Amino acid sequence: METAIVAGVGPGLGAALARAFSREGYAVGLLSRRLESSEPVADEIRSRGGKAFALSVDVTKRETVFATVEKCHADLGPITALAYNASGFGRGNFLDLDADVIRQSFEVGVMGAVHLAQAVIPDMLKRGHGFISLTGATASLRGRAGFVPLAIAKSSLRMLGQSLAREFHPQGIHVIHVIVDGQIDTPRIRARDPNRAAETMISPDAIADAVMHALKQPKNAWTHELDIRPSTETF
């Protein structure tokens, strides 16, 4: 059995990606800062006969990331898929922003992906194949006023994805970047606006399905970037 690592697991897209990889026959390592975010998803996967466990990890800590990947490999099997869904945020008027807010958003949004990719790609190269999915956002393409930390991190993650694709596609590792252009339908969004129409939000399962479609693409027809948005979203 091969293993997929999903970083940034909560009740929304991270959970949907973990379930989707499990349905495709992968053992799944679920990474989150707090176990209470990922353990229920691991329990759900195990209850359905899948193999999964949750780990509390700060993706900005390089040594911890590498140790976690080693544990996933030892306990679950060779790691041939990575979905990086962790994201820094931070918002506010630019002149009022503390530089540490920008730095932390970049560390979570970009450097965590760097650490994990460097930890898992050697395994993928040994196996001769691999798959890496990076979760982007509207901010991957354009920055909004008041969202400098997010825009810096997401646009940088997009460039990381392009560089990884150009270096590792010829070596059998498929890298995709997913632009999520709109709000994801999560329990938190529902609680904040219970009357909001479902068609104005993106289903996390629909995003995960699109990622799984890319996972199964033949080598002579690989997608690198895809964008997903509700039909009501302007772009």
Tell me the CATH number at 198.
3.40.50.720
Q: Is residue 77 part of a domain?
A: yes
**What is the structure's pLDDT at 187?**
85
> Which pLDDT belongs to residue 178?
98
Specify the pTM. 0.95
Is position 92 within any domain? Answer: yes
* Per-residue pLDDT at 191 exceeds 90: no
| pLDDT over 90 at 34, yes or no | yes
Phi, psi of 180 (to 5 degrees): -90, 100
In the chain the first and final C-alpha atoms are separated, in Å, by: 41
* Domain presence at residue 234: no
Collapse the DSSP code of 224 into the 3-class scheme (helix H, G, I; strand E, B; otherwise coil) and give the result.
coil
Residue that the structure tokens 């509700």 belong to: 230
Which residues pair with residue 184 across a beta bridge?
202
Q: Of 113-117, 159-163, 182-186, which range is least confident?
A: 182-186
pLDDT given at position 195: 87
In a domain, 159, yes or no: yes
Residue 88's pLDDT is 84
Which of 53-67, 84-98, 214-228 is the least confident region? Answer: 84-98
* Domain of 42, in residue numbers: 3-228
Residue 160: inside a domain: yes
Q: What are phi and psi of 130, to 5 degrees?
A: -175, 170
Q: What are phi and psi of 124, to 5 degrees?
A: -65, -40
What average pLDDT does the chain have?
96
Query: pLDDT tens for residues 68-98?
Result: 999 999 999 999 999 999 998 888 999 999 9
Residue-level pLDDT at 126: 96
Other CB atoms within a 10 A radius of the CB of residue 63 amount to 8
Over residues 50-70, the mean pLDDT reads: 97
Quick check: is 177 in a domain?
yes
What is the pLDDT, as a whole number, of residue 13?
96
Pseudo-torsion of CA 14, 20, 23, 27, nearest 10°? -40
Q: How confident is the model at residue 167 (pLDDT cuts 50, 70, 90)?
A: very high
Q: What is the pLDDT of residue 193?
A: 87
- Total domains in the chain come to 1
**Residue 157's pLDDT band (boundaries 50, 70, 90)?**
very high
Q: Is residue 233 part of a domain?
A: no
Map residue 174 onto helix, strand or coil: strand
pLDDT of residue 66: 98
Q: What are 122-155's pLDDT values in tens digits?
A: 999 999 999 999 999 999 999 999 999 999 999 9
Do 37 and 12 meet the contact criterion of CB atoms below 8 Å apart?
no
Average pLDDT over residues 173-180: 98
Inside any domain, residue 235: no
